[in-house]
Amino acid sequence: MSVRILALVGSLRAGSHNRRLAEAAVRLAPEGVEVELFESLADVPFYNEDIDVEGSLPAAAGALREAVLNADALLLFSPEYNGTIPAVLKNAIDWLSRPYGASAISGKPAAVAGTSLGRFGGVWAHDEVRKSVGIAGGTVIENAELSIPGSLTRFATTHPADDTEVAAQLTEIVTRLHHASKESAAA
């Protein structure tokens, strides 16, 4: 049985380098691992406890929770907007943190990767994503991170899957998530 890793991409932009990085994870997934991109983050409304009610849950929020419940692990791809997490990704984490005590993200192994045009590759945002996921109940995998600086030049003519260094690092993260999800299931 394959391990299912759900990828959430914190950029909605057409041609996003982070989306391309997530697509690389799909292509590079080793045997026994399936990486799937969640395609509907743009449709998830801002979290509001008043609408997070059984029987009237917004469809996109329900689909997000269901996708995470059906996944064995999460791989979050984040650019850095003004030194922090893009709103769409933070909103997804907020939805996944509920219902309190029984959240979809609870106990799921998670890792963060991404690229940004700056010289630090989005590390501030990635730190915030890891913190938010951990507070929400996810199990952030230690040292399973990838922050790639200079996305505009690095990926101007090369897809991340075709960049040998990036492909190796991304494959290592997916492999670590694979092992962590197996350990989590055995516990």
Given a cut of 80, whether residue 187 has pLDDT beyond it is: no
Contact by Cβ (8 Å): 18, 114: yes
pTM of the model as a whole: 0.94
Radius of gyration of the chain (CA): 16
Question: Residue holding tokens 């922050």?
Answer: 147
- Percent of the chain at pLDDT exceeding 90: 75
Mean pLDDT is lowest, of 35-39, 68-72, 153-157, for 153-157
What pLDDT does residue 121 have? 84
CA angle 4/10/14 to nearest 5° reads 105
Given a cut of 90, whether residue 52 has pLDDT beyond it is: yes
pLDDT tens, residue by residue, 4-22: 999 999 999 988 999 999 9
What pLDDT does residue 156 have? 84
Distance CA 115, CA 137 (A): 25
Average pLDDT, the chain: 93
Given a cut of 90, whether residue 152 has pLDDT beyond it is: no
Higher confidence at residue 173 or residue 14? Answer: 173
What pLDDT does residue 153 have? 83
| Phi, psi dihedrals of residue 34, rounded to the nearest 5° | -120, 120
Q: Which domains does the chain have, with CATH numbers?
A: 3-186 (3.40.50.360)
- The arithmetic mean of pLDDT across residues 57-81, rounded, is 97
